[in-house]
A and B are shown apart, each in its own frame.
Chain A
Amino acid sequence: MIWVNDIVQGVLLGGLYALFACGLSLMFGVMKVINLAHGDLAVVAAYLAAGLVTVLHMPTALSILVSIPLFAIIGYVLWRTVLQASLNRSVLTTLLVTFGMSIVIENALQQFFSANSRSLSIGALATDHFNVGSQITVGYLDLAILIAAVVVLLGLQLFLSRTRQGRLIRAVADDREAAQLAGADYRHIFGIAAAIAFGTVAVAGTAYGVYTTFDPTTGTTQLLLLFAFEAVVIGGLGSLWGTLVGGILLGVVQDIGAQISTADLLLAGQLFFLLVLVIRPQGITGSRRTA
């Protein structure tokens, strides 16, 4: 039974990774851009939530109502100014530029907020849990994060398949020139996709801040970007539900690794990712074509 509990904990941890991966997956799927600053942007979101809680005395859970639109605006503006220009150069330029952004964000956070670690409080919910049977413990917070991941993914899925904007995004992602000929301004559409991706980063960053402590370097030292990317790749590119599966698989593998020894939690996940990359680069759910 103890193994069942490990798997349950892994699934719950995977919810957090999947939540992180949503934005990365969307930008990669639509613009073919890997945002290497993704992890650090999530840390910015956590700091923003902390600021909103302190200054406006908002409850943490409600702070995302402010931070999501704010991040969406930042995403749109950043895309239209810097990221589109670098994509016009080449895909490699987007890597260099977003990597530079990641390092700049991290050092700027350090300048403004010092290296001390912080956390977001959410009251009793942070530690409360319920038991299933005698061995399985489910934390309310972990479950809430997993549900948030599912809700965000479901929302993205519905948005992309049911709305006019969503159809435009898919059209531009499929064939930019054709969509352009049909009258869609791809730069605006990409900007909207970036805005949505950044909005999900705001949710993920806040969830991370509630889940554990964070400091300015968390984005790179805690490998947030890597976990997000790993969830995307393990699940298979271009599939949002694959991202959820990938995040959960990563969480489960990490939790099983942690049973061997706590230090092996990260190593198990990283080696699993490299294995998938070498054996099945198109991911678990992907078809050969997308590799």
Chain B
Amino acid sequence: MSARTRQPASVSAAGLAPGVRVTRSRRSAIWSGLGAIAVIAVLAYLPYRVYSGTTSLLVNFFILLILASMWNLLAGYTGLVSVGQQAFFGFGSYFVLIGALHGVDPFVGLPIAVVGCAALGLVVWWLLSRLRSGYFAIATWVVASVCYLIIIRYPSLGGGTGEFMPGLPNINIKYLDAYIYWTTLAVTAITLVCVYLVLRSRLGLELTAVRDDETGARSVGVRVGRAQLLVFVIAAAGCGAAGALEVISAPYLQPGPAFSVQWSAEMIFAVLIGGIGTIEGPIIGTIVFFALQQWLAHYGTWYFIVLGLIAISVAIWAPRGIWGLISDRLKLFPVGYWLWPAGQRLGPPEAAVAGEDAEQVT
């Protein structure tokens, strides 16, 4: 763990052979960062150029991207397989609805829902923290079912049939759609930046250690329980944000779809196909998901069956997903450390991309 020294650019790592250097943030990261900013700028400009049908589709895309990133953080880095994240997704929607029924602007309700879901995440973690693997998976599902059963007891929230959310600004639908789109884009960007920063932080290092070997991580002093708690709460908050965005973009809220296990299926499929345990995987997986959905749109739910079969095959025969197949060559958002042999000058990015002269430690 000598690489824990926290200096930004490069440090001569204590405990290594003299002259050996450890660096982070390859110059390629700067280019990826600039590229990401460019992509966000282009996406932000879209409402001026395209019909709102396209931006609505992108809103759904971003919501799934947030969910997939959160599930990936949870399962990919802590090994906690949850099939009950729809509990937080649904409650994210319902927190916004409850606020709106009491006169709180839905856009203000969004951050409230995020905080509320983080608190709910704390409670759920307290209940489930002792459980592992299959027990944990099914218990999260049970929690989601309990959330649903509690919500339908309240007729004021529409009971089992659903409720229309009031309070969206009374403006031209074109502007409203654009505002919703920009909000979703902003939340997505914040989520991805958060995931990146978390994984680059000490917590991220601990998580990566836990992902690779939980017992080994424990033995070198990683507080596994604390790391898992933090990630579970972050994932709960993120899924809550996604739920809040969902109800804002489609303001008729029904408890059945909101707490449906279908959401878990979508995020799991996207992450598995894209590549679990990487930041880039969920992005690629979500793109594949939507591409297939659009392509097979005329054949009912066949796209979902195909996605499921691909996800199953990937999980068994290519567990690193699509991104795993390309990432040996390229890393967009590096969170690891590079070990440079003595006397090696820091070369230009392209010289080191192949990772032949520097050993990468992720």
Q: Please give the residue numbers on chain A whose beta carbons come within 8 Å of chain B beta carbons, in ascending order.
A: 28, 33-34, 36, 82, 85-86, 89, 91-93, 95-97, 99-101, 103-104, 107-108, 110-111, 220-221, 223, 225-226, 229-230, 233, 263, 266-267, 270-271, 273-274, 277-278, 281
Roughly how many angstroms separate A229 CA and B137 CA in the complex, as a whole number? 11
Q: Is residue B153 contacting chain A, with contact meaning CB distance below 8 A?
A: yes
| Nearest CB in chain B to that of A83: its residue | B316
- Asked if B312 and A101 make an inter-chain contact with CB atoms under 8 angstroms apart, the answer reads yes
- Asked if B134 and A96 make an inter-chain contact with CB atoms under 8 angstroms apart, the answer reads no
- Asked if A111 and B300 make an inter-chain contact with CB atoms under 8 angstroms apart, the answer reads yes
| A to B CB contacts below 8 Å, 15 in the list | A89-B315, A93-B315, A97-B315, A99-B83, A100-B311, A101-B308, A111-B302, A223-B145, A226-B138, A230-B142, A263-B149, A267-B149, A267-B150, A270-B142, A281-B130
- Asked if A274 and B309 make an inter-chain contact with CB atoms under 8 angstroms apart, the answer reads no
Known: A95-B81, A270-B149, A277-B135. A103 touches B308 (CB 8 A): yes
B299 to chain A, nearest CB (A): 9
* Cβ contacts under 8 Å, B143 to chain A: 274
Looking at B261-269, B286-294, B332-340, the stretch in contact with chain A turns out to be B261-269
- Asked if A89 and B319 make an inter-chain contact with CB atoms under 8 angstroms apart, the answer reads yes
Which listed residue (B146, B150, B153, B268) contacts A96, Cβ 8 A?
Answer: B268
In chain B between 139 and 180, which residues have their CB closer than 8 angstroms to a CB of chain A? 139, 141-143, 145-146, 149-150, 152-153
- Asked if A104 and B319 make an inter-chain contact with CB atoms under 8 angstroms apart, the answer reads no
Roughly how many angstroms separate A48 CA and B141 CA in the complex, as a whole number? 27
Q: Is residue B272 contacting chain A, with contact meaning CB distance below 8 A?
A: yes
**Chain B positions 301 through 317: 1 when the CB is less than 8 Å from some CB of chain A, otherwise 0:** 11011001101100111
Known: A266-B149, A267-B146. A100 touches B312 (CB 8 A): yes
* Cβ contacts under 8 Å, B145 to chain A: 223, 226, 266, 270
A208 to chain B, nearest CB (A): 18
* Cβ contacts under 8 Å, B130 to chain A: 278, 281
Which listed residue (A104, A220, A221, A281) contacts B135, Cβ 8 A?
Answer: A281
**Chain B positions 268 through 292: 1 when the CB is less than 8 Å from some CB of chain A, otherwise 0:** 1100100000000000000000000
| Nearest CB in chain B to that of A34: its residue | B134
- Asked if B319 and A93 make an inter-chain contact with CB atoms under 8 angstroms apart, the answer reads yes
* Cβ contacts under 8 Å, A100 to chain B: 265, 268-269, 272, 308-309, 311-312, 315
B201 to chain A, nearest CB (A): 25
Q: Is residue B47 contacting chain A, with contact meaning CB distance below 8 A?
A: no
Given A36-B138, A96-B315, 19 additional A-B pairs, CB 8 A = A34-B134, A86-B315, A100-B272, A100-B309, A103-B265, A104-B304, A104-B312, A107-B301, A107-B302, A107-B304, A108-B305, A226-B138, A226-B142, A230-B142, A267-B149, A267-B150, A270-B145, A274-B146, A277-B128
Roughly how many angstroms separate A241 CA and B246 CA in the complex, as a whole number? 45
Which listed residue (B265, B309, B316) contacts A89, Cβ 8 A?
Answer: B316
